[in-house]
Amino acid sequence: MTNPNPQSGSPDKEPASEAQAAQNALGNTERAEVATEPDRSVAKPDPQPEPKPSLGRLFLDNLWAANTFTVTLLSLVLAIVVGAVLMIISDPDVLSTYSYITSRPSDAINSSWTLVSEAYANLFKGSIFDPEAFSGWLNGANGWQAVLAPISETLTYAAPLVFTGLSVALAFRGGLFNIGAQGQATIGVIMAALAGFLLPLPPGLHLLVAVLAGALGGAIWGFIPGILKARAGAHEVINTIMLNYVATYFLTWLIVQNGVQDPNRTDAISKGVDSSAQLPRLLGDNLRVHAGILLAVLATWAVAWLLNRSTLGFELRAVGANPDAARTAGISVTRTYILIMVFAGILAGLGGSNMVLGSTASALTPLVVAQIGFDGILVALLGRVKPWGVLLAALLFGALQAGGNRMQSYSGISLELVTVLQALIVIFIAAPALVKAIFQLRAARAARLQTSLAKGW
């Protein structure tokens, strides 16, 4: 049968012809796009290099970045500002001027400025430098000892804090949270005092034995939670807290025992430490600073060398970073935990011995150690658990303590406000995100602002 439309072709060929036509059209379109595409093989001129920022610009950019120095400095500023507000609120005379601030604002402003400026001026004069004492020395009204008295007081208060701060920081780096620096310092002060008034030794040797006795006492008190942590898995926080109470009550009991209590006194006080066991004073008998601050600097260098230069320090940091990985690498985690707490106890014991062999006290009392163990935790955090940072933080806390005494005497500001300032500084430094948000700091490339925390805490 003949196809009525021979030009149209068979029905089964039409779809193939349409597909072929579409494919040809698509190929023509792609070839047209390729033909119209510009030739990119022609070399373009290099862009002009951007001018390098000046040295001053780089300094300002880095200064206002969220690095450790900037955050620490701004934390101090915030603490000072909040402290000023607390001074104004706690003074009823100054606070009364704000009741009529809308009518006479100058009264409130002037009284507030007078109170705050005098308080912080006395804080500076009592801890670093007193211009009046310097003028008196130039005029012959007083001696050079009055000029160096503020620095002497600062170093005296800072010396034991360096040891307890290093004790807490060293345990932190090993992954342990040493709350027991207070108890270790207490046993250290007991052992140092007993060696100081019970052992009849010649000068020099007597001092050496007393210092070593304090270190030994702290080592024993650090060994106990260390061995419990390593062998039984007991948490060091619980152990050290309980040992703090044991050490405190042991000191209270020991002071009133025969042979220890001062026979000429009826209150709780021991015999005085012999002069042959006292740390020598560096600036004469009229100034309290003693050789303990030199031992503190030496201990800071030793801990820095231990952590960064020695094999034991590497093992300590490895266990603190990841105990399981350290154990897999062949490091004895049990041995490392014990050594960490023993070394931490030695440092805290040396801090305690400074309290009775130095110029702070010469006999045992229930409050002879004060709060240097607990303050050492703040010092370690403020120094970011680094040895030299701990030293600087201890100097700051020593300055606050020394200046706070003068601020209380001359300005009538409560000494507890100094403790509030210390707490505020630590709070702001421990919360760098808050400081960064308040001052709109840029993120620093290499800044490490996270507070180091012990593993498992």
Q: pLDDT category, 447, cuts 50, 70, 90?
A: very low
Greater model confidence, 435 or 92: 92
The pLDDT of residue 204 is above 70 = yes
Q: Cα–Cα distance between 236 and 225 in angstroms, integer?
A: 6
What is the rounded average pLDDT for all residues in the chain?
Answer: 84
User: Does residue 428 contact residue 79 with C-beta atoms inside 8 Å?
Assistant: yes
SS3 state at 128: coil
How does pLDDT run across 144-194, given as a tens digit for each residue? 889 999 999 999 999 999 999 999 999 999 999 999 999 999 999 999 999
How does pLDDT run across 214-269, given as a tens digit for each residue? 999 999 999 999 999 999 989 999 999 999 999 999 999 999 999 999 998 888 99
Beta-bridged to residue 65, according to DSSP, are 442
- Domain annotation covers residue 422: no
Give the chain's domain count: 1
Q: What is the pLDDT of residue 213?
A: 96
The pLDDT of residue 195 is above 90 = yes
The pLDDT of residue 365 is above 50 = yes
Q: What is the pLDDT of residue 457?
A: 39
**How big, in percent rounded to 5, are the helix, strand and coil portions of the chain?**
70, 0, 30
Q: What is the pLDDT of residue 128?
A: 92
Q: Cα–Cα distance between 239 and 184 in angstroms, integer?
A: 12
65-172-360 Cα angle (round to 5):
95
Q: What is the pLDDT of residue 38?
A: 52
- Domain annotation covers residue 284: yes
- Domain annotation covers residue 208: yes
Q: What is the pLDDT of residue 7?
A: 46
**Which stretches of 31-139 are assigned E, i.e. beta strand?**
none
The pLDDT of residue 56 is above 90 = no
Give the relative orientation of helices 333-357 and 181-198 as an angle to the nearest 10 degrees. 50
Q: What is the pLDDT of residue 448?
A: 43
Beta-bridged to residue 270, according to DSSP, are 261
- Domain annotation covers residue 74: no
Q: pLDDT category, 322, cuts 50, 70, 90?
A: very high
Q: What is the pLDDT of residue 222?
A: 96
How does pLDDT run across 24-50, given as a tens digit for each residue? 554 555 554 444 545 555 555 556 666
Structural domain boundaries, residue 230: 160-391
Contacts of 72 (CB under 8 A, 6+ apart): 429
Mean pLDDT of 405-420: 81
User: Does residue 192 contact residue 213 with C-beta atoms inside 8 Å?
Assistant: yes
* % residues pLDDT > 70 (the chain): 82
Q: Cα–Cα distance between 406 and 415 in angstroms, integer?
A: 9
Q: What is the pLDDT of residue 454?
A: 42
Q: What is the pLDDT of residue 150?
A: 94
- CA-based nearest residue to 132, from 113, 146, 117: 146
Mean pLDDT of 341-352: 96
Mean pLDDT of 374-391: 92
The pLDDT of residue 81 is above 50 = yes
Greater model confidence, 425 or 253: 253
Q: From residue 229, how far is each of 175, 198, 226, 330, 411 by CA, in Å?
A: 12, 35, 5, 19, 49
How does pLDDT run across 290-304, given as a tens digit for each residue? 999 999 999 999 999
Q: pLDDT category, 10, cuts 50, 70, 90?
A: very low
User: Does residue 313 contact residue 170 with C-beta atoms inside 8 Å?
Assistant: no
- Domain annotation covers residue 215: yes
Q: pLDDT category, 455, cuts 50, 70, 90?
A: very low
Q: What is the pLDDT of residue 74?
A: 85
Mean pLDDT of 395-407: 90
Residues in the chain: 457
- Domain annotation covers residue 13: no
Ramachandran area for residue 233 (φ above 0: left; ψ -120 to 50: alpha; else beta): left
How does pLDDT run across 107-145, given as a tens digit for each residue? 999 999 999 999 999 999 999 999 999 999 999 888 888
Rg of the chain taking only CA atoms, in angstroms? 35
- Domain annotation covers residue 207: yes
| Least confident window among 203-212, 233-242, 433-442 | 433-442
- Domain annotation covers residue 217: yes
- For the chain, what is the total number of helices (H) and then of strands (E)? 18, 0
Beta-bridged to residue 281, according to DSSP, are 290
Mean pLDDT of 338-354: 96
Q: What is the pLDDT of residue 4?
A: 46
* % residues pLDDT > 90 (the chain): 57
40-43-48 Cα angle (round to 5):
125
199-204-209 Cα angle (round to 5):
45
